[in-house]
Amino acid sequence: MLRLPWFEHRAPRSVAEAAKILAGEGPRAMLIAGGTDLLPNMKRRHQAPKVLVSLRGVSELKNFSNGSGTNFGSALTLNQIVQNPKTPAALRQAAAQVATPHLRNMGTLGGNLCLDTRCNYYNQSYEWRKAIDFCLKVDGKICWVATASKRCVAVSSTDTAPALIALNAAVTLVSSQGEREVKVEDLYRNDGIEYLSRKPDEILTEVRVPKGWTSTYWKLRRRGSFDFPILGVAAALKFEKEVITEARIALGAVASRPFLVEKAGEFLKGKSLSDEVIAQVAELVANRAKPMDNTDMDLYWRKEVADDFAGYALRELRGDDMRETRLRIARSELA
């Protein structure tokens, strides 16, 4: 049986207390919430924090409030997000497609946003990685995906982040020094190692989602559950009658960070979703997808179908009945 390495466990009762522990322990400490990302990584010795700071007992992180925007505590589980009737469609669909029902009972929204980047050469046991003399991301010198690359190209695999970027959401980061608000799109950096702009002593406490968007999320993965995204397309629109007044389309799982496709948003403004417009935007979006050969399925194929997935998203937002397609792709209606 795979075993965890030794660690010391701290169980603060408040964000302030947790922040203080983080500040005191420095880099030897890591936060743990649902544990579904960190514990497998620890078992494979990707990370071996000496101190685990558990957020389980911090009840303020499980708050939910609904005012001018919708505020989700970062320690709400993904299933709690799915079941909340106030959760906007894209976030609900994204959360509902993370991993498996069991893991969604455990994994949290904050954990999914801070998910470690993934790579076929990285998400392996210590012994496996030793057999390739490790890689750039941890313990090694070469990126085996792109051997000339100076940068780690591990892929962002969070489903909820592209959804929240499209929804123009922001997160609150709290440290012992104070707190700040960061747009979700600015939470990420295009670097497989330093993939978050969150500082190690900061705690992601809350996600604030503005209202008024019609949104959706389409995920590509091989199977109906378990698998991380190998493409995620999130789209959020505001309409006046049939004319788009604002549009935000974000991509996940095609780079080391999820990102907003600004050009697509600009292009859509003032237009309505004709087949032609959808095809043009889908192309714009797909051009930004630069998948690498470091996750599941054929790289060129993933690139090739990106426009189809963007098309699914926009057609759904136009009001087309996409249930059959959704059932084929997600293997669930996500009702």
Partner 1 sequence: MKKKLDVVGKARRRVDARAKVTGALRYADDLFMPRMLYAKLLRSPHPHAVIEKIDAEKARRHPGVHLVLTGKDFPVPFGIMPVSVDEYPLAPERVRYVGDPVAAVIAVDEQTAVEAIALIEVRYRILKPIESPEAGLNNPEPRIHDYGEQGNIHRNQSYEFGKTEEALKSSDLVFEDLFFYEGNTHLPMEQQASLAFVDPEGRLQISSSTQNPHYLHRQLARVLQIAETRIRVVATPNGGAFGGKCDPGGHEFVVSKAALVLGRPVKIGLTREEVFYVHRGRHPVLMKMKTGVTKDGKLTGMHLQTLLDGGGYGSHGPASTFYTGVLTPVTYHYPRFKFEACRVFTNKPACGPKRGHGTPQPRFGQEVQLDKIAGKLGMDPAELRLKNLTKADSLTASWLRVGSTGLGDCITKVTEMSGWKQRRGKLGRGRGLGLACSTYMCGAGVAIYWNKMPHSGVQVLLDRSGGVIVYCGATEIGQGSDDVLAAIVAETLGVDTGVVRVVSGDTGITPVDLGSYSSRVTIMAGNAAVQAAERLRVQIAAVVSETLGTLPDRVVFSQGRVFAADHSGPGMSFVEAVAAAESQLGTLSAVGSYSPPKAPGKYKGAGVGPSPAYSFSSCVVEVEVDERTGWIHVPKIWIAHDIGRALNPTLARGQVIGGVYMGLGEALMEEQSFRRLPEKLSGALVHRAPSMLDYKSLTSLDMPDVEVALIEDPDPNCPYGAKEVGQGPLLPVMPALANAIYDAVGVRIDEIPITPDKVLRALESESKRVGPQSFPSVPYPEPMFVLPPWEGGDGKETKRDASAAVV
Partner 2 sequence: MGEKFRCGLTVNGERAEALVLSYKTLLEALREDFGLTGTKHGCELGECGACTVLLDGEPVLSCLVLALECEGRAVQTIEGLARGPELHPLQAAFADFGGSQCGYCTPGVIMTAKALLEKNPNPTRQQIKEATAGNLCRCTGYNQIVESIEDAAAKLRAEAK
Question: What residues line the site for partner 2 (CB under 8 A)?
Answer: 1-7, 9, 11, 32, 35-36, 39-40, 43-44, 52, 54, 56, 99-103, 105-106, 224-226, 332-333
Q: Burial-class residue 256 by CB neighbours within 10 Å (0-12, 13-18, 19+).
A: buried
| Binds partner 1 (CB under 8 A): choice among 11, 48, 138, 142 | 142
- 237-276 residues in contact with partner 1 (CB under 8 A) are none
| Binds partner 1 (CB under 8 A): choice among 183, 211, 323, 331 | 331
Cβ 79 to partner 2, closest distance in Å? 8
Cβ 37 to partner 2, closest distance in Å? 9
By beta-carbon proximity to partner 1, the closer residue of 70 and 158 is 158
335 counts as binding partner 1 under rule CB under 8 A: no
Helices (H) and strands (E) in the chain, counts: 13, 12
Distance CA 148, CA 42 (A): 29
Sequence letter at residue 173: L
- 105-124 residues in contact with partner 1 (CB under 8 A) are 120, 123-124
Compute φ and ψ for 42, nearest 5 degrees: -70, -40
Which residues are CB-contacts of 227 (< 8 A; sequence separation ≥ 6)?
Answer: 221, 296
Distance CA 174, CA 60 (A): 13
Segment interacting with partner 1, rule: CB under 8 A, options 196-204, 248-256, 275-283, 303-311:
303-311
| Binds partner 1 (CB under 8 A): choice among 50, 131, 243, 333 | 131
- 277-296 residues in contact with partner 1 (CB under 8 A) are 296
320 counts as binding partner 1 under rule CB under 8 A: no
**Which of the 8 DSSP states describes residue 7?**
-
| Binds partner 1 (CB under 8 A): choice among 14, 190, 199, 301 | 301
300 counts as binding partner 1 under rule CB under 8 A: yes
3-state DSSP percent of the chain in helix, strand and coil, to 5: 35, 25, 45
Segment interacting with partner 1, rule: CB under 8 A, options 12-20, 57-65, 187-195, 323-331:
323-331
Cβ–Cβ under 8 Å, residues 277 and 271: yes
| Binds partner 1 (CB under 8 A): choice among 8, 13, 226, 266 | 226
By beta-carbon proximity to partner 2, the closer residue of 27 and 224 is 224
By beta-carbon proximity to partner 2, the closer residue of 107 and 265 is 107
Radius of gyration of the CA atoms of the chain, in A: 20
Residue with tokens 């750039």: 136
By beta-carbon proximity to partner 1, the closer residue of 28 and 226 is 226
Binding interface with partner 1 (CB under 8 A): 1-3, 120, 123-125, 127-128, 130-133, 142, 144, 147, 222-227, 296-298, 300-301, 304-305, 308, 328-329, 331-332
